[in-house]
Chains A and B, each alone.
Chain A
Amino acid sequence: MPALEELEEAYNKAKRDASFQKELRQLQSTYIGRPTPLYFAKRLTEKLGGAKIYLKREDLAHTGAHKINNALGQALLAVRMGKRRLIAETGAGQHGVATATGAALVGLACDIYMGTVDMQRQALNVFRMKLLGATVKEVDIGSRTLKDAINESLRDWTTNVRTTHYVLGTAFGPHPFPMLVRDFQSIIGKEAAAQIRKAEGRLPDYLIACVGGGSNAIGLFNEFLDTDIRMIGVEAGGKGIESGEHAARFADGSIGILQGCKTYLLQDNDGNVLDTHSVSAGLDYASVGPEHSHLKVSGRVEYTFATDDEALAAFETLSRAEGIIPALESAHALAEVIKRAPVLPRDSIIIVNLSGRGDKDVQQVAKIKGINLCA
């Protein structure tokens, strides 16, 4: 608790501090490469034959995903707080890579917790983190995925709180993390609003993003919450809701309390957290950021899901139609675009958050397709 209060205080100070904001803006532009483009996906639009589809290209941010927006912000904050070490959890490895990058940039030690199941399916990112000077710590307990990596990170933070800052990677956990992560990610929506006004002279009709913990989605949505733009969050439907092997918290979960927040959770009748499944490590998580639960209950955002198969099909569709290989996480959002765009009028506009690039997933997709890359 004192650590959370310390963090909130430091963050509130930084928010008002012109020199912090200036440093952040400068690195966003010269290091991350912001603003990321808003790209009109002409061939995908023609192929689907309905709404105009724009991709917010977070895959072009340094390290290949939106995760760097938050990791860099928190790394700068940690330096201000006098911390000597960063830790983070990672599922798909993108947040681990982003945090290792942030740590290298500001010169802090870095340990990344990652479930052994995820280490196998995201071997490339494990090696990237090591190249960046971080230590990757195996989490070989529980479901051995993102949830358990968060548990281990929280345990580490409790133990080393005096010297260590925990760079939580998504808009989740105890306050002030959901707020902090949302704020650092909200640049996505701010840029998108300005870019679409310039391109189309108006705001879009739909925003679509995938939702694991929910940081890329809240980053896109936050700017538009006061408008009447329809927003859709896409969870991991895994092998289908009936199969029980999925991570669709809104479709099949109920309110619970985990890892410091009250939110939708996949749990059994006794309050134990259920195992989840998704082809995408970044969405393979039993819980969801509390603000998304609020937006679900208030009805402001609509939540749906895409199955593994739908996401894999979308992964290939975008690769061929646009020459852009999306992350499997982002492919879930694209799967919803593929379902929805054809039935919308041609003058309507969708912005989909292309939260990450798919290089990290290439090996796994090959494996699923039965292709041996080393042969």
Chain B
Amino acid sequence: MQKTRISVVFEALQARNSKAFIPYIMAGDPEAGTTLKQVSLLERCGADIIELGVPFSDPLADGPTIQKAAGRALKSGTTLRKVLSMVRDLRLQTDIPLVLMTYYNPVFKYGEEAFVHDSIQAGVDGIIVPDLPPEEAGELIKLSRQGSGGRRLDTIFLIAPTSTPVRIKKIAAASSGFVYYVSITGITGAALEVDEEFKRHLALVKQATDKPVAVGFGIASPDQARIVAQMADGVIVGSALVKVFNETPEKAENFIRGLKEATSK
């Protein structure tokens, strides 16, 4: 079994004592062509891993920015199947690790086995299913670890600020590639306050696992990214980036470069 692209990237970053910059974009927002261009730009500006959101009608973990992005993507006919086809197209142009963030019902409807198989064949490296707790993910984890054609899929689970130490260990054990630490109690795009409690809980998570820990939800500026990167192994920026791409795309490149610089130093 090969190492996943995600693990390769984290090992390389750790070797040079650097942190991962992980941008999130909504696939198909507002249509497939945009996604291909955004991925190119992100890679050119130094993204280490890219999270691709799969639009869903009821995105429970997401705030208004990503809800609206999902609405635009659904309107142009973006489905899980089409996102996998975008990934196949992307693999003609890039080797950057790609993580799908999808709600569970589209996966359930697709069929877990077919989903894992088709994701690996398309070139997906990892999956985040925010509404699927590890307790309910046994089969999906098993299929992802078994993989297909000598390649496997990383399963990335979410740890919340309210997670107890016992639960943190359980979630970390179910995760591969990296562990996703949700920086706030709440939904994507809400304001993050990097306070003592945040630092204390993140330190707890870091202690509980030797897997890389990436932090997301609410990181909107290079200043925040810089502070988070001092403690975490990766910084995930979603809503703020989705907003810039949608509202002021001409400012996207500078914004991305600023985040990358803040993360990697």
Contact = CB atoms under 8 A, between A and B. Distances in A.
Contacts of B105: 256-258, 265, 267, 271-273
A247 B104 CA distance: 22
Interface stretch (A125-133, A157-165, A293-301): A157-165
Interface string B108-148: 11100000000000000000000101000000000000000
Interface string B211-231: 000000000000000000000
A225 to B, nearest CB: 27
Contacts of B37: none
Interface in A127-162: 141-142, 147-148, 151, 154-155, 158-162
A204 to B, nearest CB: 38
A242 interface: no
Contacts of A272: 56-57, 74, 79, 105-106
A2 B162 contact: yes
Nearest to A256: B105
A119 B109 CA distance: 33
A258 B60 CA distance: 9
B109 A256 contact: yes
Contact of B185 (A158, A256, A265, A273): A158
A159 B104 contact: no
Nearest to A160: B185
A366 interface: no
A142 B67 CA distance: 9
A270 B74 CA distance: 11
A142 B56 CA distance: 11
Contacts of B79: 270, 272
Contacts of A260: 131
Given A258-B105, A259-B60, A272-B57, A158 B74 contact: no
A30 interface: no
Contacts of A147: 58
A161 B61 CA distance: 14
A270 B54 CA distance: 11
Given A256-B109, A257-B105, A155 B60 contact: yes
A3 B74 contact: no
B78 to A, nearest CB: 9
A159 B108 contact: no
Nearest to B171: A1
Contacts of B106: 270-272
Q: Which of B162, B163, B190 has the most CB of A within 10 A?
A: B162
A161 B162 contact: yes
Contacts of A273: 57-58, 105
B58 A267 contact: no
Interface string B29-70: 000000000000000000000000000111011011001100
A259 B67 CA distance: 15
Contacts of A159: 184-187, 190
Contacts of A141: 64, 67-68, 71
A151 B80 CA distance: 21
B162 A142 contact: no
A271 B107 contact: yes
B56 A3 contact: no
Contacts of B104: 257
Contact of B58 (A1, A258, A270): A258
A271 B109 contact: yes
Contacts of B167: 1-2
B133 A142 contact: no
Contacts of B190: 159
A269 interface: yes
B3 interface: no
Contacts of B56: 271-272
A355 B186 CA distance: 35
A159 B188 CA distance: 10
B58 A256 contact: no
Given A155-B187, A273-B57, A267 B162 contact: no
- Which 9 residue pairs of A and B lie closest in terms of their CB atoms, listed nearest first? A271-B109, A159-B186, A271-B106, A270-B79, A272-B57, A271-B105, A273-B57, A155-B187, A257-B105
27 contacts: A2-B163, A2-B167, A3-B162, A141-B64, A141-B71, A142-B71, A148-B58, A151-B58, A151-B60, A158-B185, A158-B187, A159-B186, A159-B190, A160-B185, A161-B162, A161-B185, A162-B162, A162-B185, A257-B104, A258-B105, A259-B60, A269-B109, A270-B80, A271-B80, A271-B107, A273-B58, A273-B105
